[in-house]
Structure 1
Amino acid sequence: MVEKKFLAYILYITLLEIRESAYADNNSRLYHLADMLHNIPFSLLDDEQAKEEYKKVLQTVEELKIFDWLNNRVKEFKQRFPDLED
């Protein structure tokens, strides 16, 4: 379990580093993506937190109007994991 928490941590902190770099480079899209995603790694350690974080992602996609980004990720996900289709 320590390994799982450590992996979650390094994903979390790296997303924060990406966010900081995007802010410094005035890369709004990358900044907002990293900001939206940085809490996800720790939420994956708990099913209820993961569901809440999923809702937050959908809400942020709506607020930022980045539907193309989400639609592309859904398409990629379905192609990579066809067995998980509803």
Structure 2
Amino acid sequence: MIFDYFLLDTVDRNLVREGNNNLVKRADELWVFGAVSDGVLAEIELAKSLKKNIRYFKIIKSKDIVEIEKNEVDMEEETEKFFDKL
């Protein structure tokens, strides 16, 4: 999500989700960094429905970013059961 933590709850969460979805719709492809949360999973599903290319990245020691394969993606605990949706 580009609008981190729902802008500290200063803006309606649905507006933030709508903004993120609009960015996904306009983008050429979706880049996913770090562990996949439920919100990121929703963005992945949207990108897939729009036939967008999805690339996955891992952040190492807060400064190195490497592209990884889909099967190497980390999932947050609540999304682990949805790994097949990547």
Q: Same fold (TM over 0.5)?
A: no
Q: Which has the higher strand share?
A: 2
Larger Rg: 1
Specify which structure has the bigger relative contact order, considering alpha-carbon pairs within 8 angstroms and separated by 6 or more residues. 2
TM-score by structure 1 length?
A: 0.33
Going by fraction, where is helix more abundant, 1 or 2?
A: 1
Normalised to the residue count of structure 2, the TM-score between the two structures is: 0.33
